[in-house]
Amino acid sequence: MSVSIAIGEAGCHLANELQAVAIVVDALRASATMAALLHCGAREIWVVAEVEEAWRLKETMPDALLVGERQSVKVAGFDFSNSPTEILQASELVQGRRVIFTSTTGARRLLACRQAAAILVGTTVNATAVARVAKERAEKERRPIVLIASGVWGEGDEWATEDVAAAWVIAERMNLPIVQAPNRPEGELAKVFAESRHGKELLALGLDADVRWCAQVDVVTVVPQVVALEGAMALVKAAS
């Protein structure tokens, strides 16, 4: 078994080509938000790429919560933004509920990994747990592992330094050979996250708490895992 870290669309292609165990890493903030939702007891998460798809799905699931953002801002009419701290503060409302989720980048990367042997969602906040689950699945399926540092949607394979840093944190916990990877960003995670392009955007919006929470390591043990892909939707539940 081996581990690769690849950026954005190229990472999705690699995971599909190798039929690998894929880990989608969108550190600010989709991976952390999905982990927070399941940590707070959400029954399941339906991931869609577009806001319009979320509203259409809501018509068939009127009890579901709508969670998501565009350009880092909560979608008008949604229950919550793509914010792990917002979810944690409302944990009683989340427990036992179905969730419909969309985000600018992470949701699309997840949906693009259709030929992967398994699709997991990870970042620093669940690093040890997702590393363990990925390694177990890779051993069972006899497949490599590809960590997809989500990058910036719509701008080719532009780096997102926080995603690459988070992917390295996960990879180092696997004790497996890393056959390809971009250079690891230097510095403490909190600084890397805060000084990243997206981190600066979130800080400018007053979302300091999200940036700080997302830069933590191993604060939850839940691992979001795609259990079904249906058309333009993915059903995500906690890996057992």
Whether the per-residue pLDDT at 167 is higher than 70: the answer is: yes
- In our burial notation (b when 16+ CB lie closer than 10 A, e otherwise), range 52-64 reads ebbbebbeeeeeb
Structural domain includes residue 12: yes
Q: What is the mean pLDDT of residues 92-119?
A: 97
Residue type present at position 89: Q
Residue 127 neighbours by CB under 8 Å, 6+ apart: 166, 169, 170, 173, 217, 218
Structural domain includes residue 211: yes
Name the band, by pLDDT with cuts 50, 70 and 90, for residue 231: confident
Structural domain includes residue 112: yes
Residue numbers of the domain that contains 130: 3-227
Cα–Cα dist 111/234, whole Å: 7
Q: What is the mean pLDDT of residues 62-80?
A: 97
- Packing angle of the helix pair 127-141, 161-171 (nearest 10 deg): 60
Whether the per-residue pLDDT at 159 is higher than 90: the answer is: no
Domain total for the chain?
1
Residue 20's CB is within 10 A of a number of other CB atoms, namely 30
Query: Any idea what DSSP says for residue 82?
Result: S
Q: Which two tokens stand for residue 38?
A: 């399941």
Whether the per-residue pLDDT at 154 is higher than 70: the answer is: no
Question: Do 101 and 34 form a contact (C-beta atoms < 8 A)?
Answer: yes
Residue 144 neighbours by CB under 8 Å, 6+ apart: 1, 2, 3, 4, 18, 20, 21, 138, 179
Residue type present at position 179: V
Whether the per-residue pLDDT at 83 is higher than 60: the answer is: yes
pLDDT value for 155: 55
Q: What is the mean pLDDT of residues 64-83?
A: 97
Structural domain includes residue 77: yes
CA distances from 87 to 22, 60, 110, 229 (A): 25, 23, 20, 25
pLDDT value for 1: 85
Structural domain includes residue 129: yes
What's the mean per-residue pLDDT of the chain? 96
Q: What is the mean pLDDT of residues 169-190?
A: 96
Q: What is the mean pLDDT of residues 31-50?
A: 98
Structural domain includes residue 237: no
Structural domain includes residue 141: yes
Whether the per-residue pLDDT at 120 is higher than 90: the answer is: yes
Structural domain includes residue 34: yes
Domain holding 18: CATH number?
3.90.1560.10
Whether the per-residue pLDDT at 156 is higher than 60: the answer is: no
